[in-house]
Structure 1
Amino acid sequence: MFHGFISIDKPAAITAHDCVSKLRKLLKQKKIGHGGTLDPMATGVLPIAVGDATRLLRFLPEGKAYNAKIRFGVVTNTDDITGEVISDRPCDDAITLEAIQELLPLFQGRIVQRPPAFSAIQIDGKRLYDLARRGEIAAEDVPTRLVEITEIRVLGWQSGAYPELDLAIACGSGTYIRAIARDLGEKLGCGATLAGLRRTYSNGFDLAASLTFEQVAAKLQSGNLQVLAPDHGLHLLPMALLDADSARRWQMGQAVSAANLSLLGEDSANSFVRTHDQDQSFLGVSEVSENLLHPVVVLPRH
């Protein structure tokens, strides 16, 4: 049995749920969950927790990064290239890279974004994409939300009848890159859609640590598959080191004193911390409250 994380380099045309199902078959174990959805057309980083690590998914840090390709002159009902084309109008030389670069600051920082109508967001318990398919909600009626984009910069530009722009985008959870493509096209007056998307970072995992399914299968066959440690991705949480007696009592579900833990400052009150023993073996996650470490996730020893 495996216990830890596997960062999958997701291929195109399958869902995050498909990835979980595929990994369950490969590893022959059921306790597997993913750390965030990724549109079927997109490729790239998909953190997947295996075994006991599934209990740690909620503690992964926020933050995602993408390489996106935007095609101008085409508008679709899904805001990406997989949707139904509702407008096809060659741009020729109507837009320039200079004009785009002047607009990009409008998409950085905390901005108001209208998600695509074809998205998994729920309204009154119903998925938006179900409402959109039945014609029960118009794109312009989708509720807006506040999102944060920490970086947006140009990677490449190709002019022509349907110009294409390559962007690097770093953002917070809940940001739709498809909406950025759509809105940029609207501001330029020519329309646009997302033509390609690759996630390069997600919730503490990057492409360098990611494996394709073919690589996972090959490592399994050779007996060399090693999952990432359960605390991989939790590096942004403060760390507490417990002495032997405190570690024993903590693992039994008892709260222990945090008074003498120098790594826990005043700012850590009522926060979650990684909890380790004196050998720095990861025990699980605690919540600090009233100068006590309360066990939240206690991992069994394997």
Structure 2
Amino acid sequence: MKYAIESKSLTKKYGDFTAVDSLEIKVPEGKVYGFLGRNGSGKTTTIRMIMGLIKPDLGKVKIFGKEVNRNDISYLKDIGAIIETPGFYNNLSGYENLEITCELFNTDKKSIEKSLDIVGLSKVDNQNVGTFSLGMKQRLGIANALIHSPKILILDEPTNGLDPMGIIEMRGLIKNLSKTRGITILVSSHLLSEIQLIADYVGIIDNGRLIMEGHIDSIDIDQQNYLILETSNNKKAEKILNSLNFEFEKKNDSLKIYCEYNHNSMINKKMIENNLEVYNLKSHLKTLEERFLGIADNHLTKKGD
């Protein structure tokens, strides 16, 4: 597999505080990579080191296999980025703001209309940015990042502050850019349920360290919180569950069973073998947030050991 971004032993300290600790990530070419972590976990610091905005204390970054040299910023031509909130001149139109970016990158102004069209802002190109909603400003930020036709797009918390419709629009835009244009997209976020809907690969960072990385399916697995069971005779079902050593609670007309997902069919079979009618057998799966917190907490426990 080819990688658009790789880091090796990437480390950044501020006094006694280690913001990023020997971080090693691999972002596959042409995919959406979800960079997940709680606020303060080191995501933005990592992105700033990739972009050359701050100098790492240790480690290195490779872009398309070539090691980044801080004395040679030519690699930045392959990267477009929004780090935190995109800044624009509110008294200028969207088009005029992008003209400034074109001059900075020495890029043909024909790319402005193309970029605005990609993000769905071509009809408001002459409208002052000061009148834009937050969602429109975020989309303008992506248009700004796409001006020089980068191969990599880095988005730091792109849905922060957006309303539900704005989040849906941003989600669709990110997926479309990856699928139709083959752009590698690194999206950092603490909104794990959103990443679940857009990412192909995921890296989880906590306290500056990478604690899991892989295809999104390696996290999006059937992990169960509990099973709800309703039968024709719950008292008899309780005895069966006790004999199987399952923990459970009585909940109205049902039983809340704490078991793994792969035990569900066996429980159902035992009820039928004991001549019970099963009215309801419903699995309640863990959310991605719960899975993430479990992974992070397990990581902290192992460090403590």
Structure with more helix by fraction: 2
Structure with greater Cα Rg: 2
Structure with more strand by fraction: 1
Structure-1-length-normalised TM-score: 0.25
Structure-2-length-normalised TM-score: 0.25
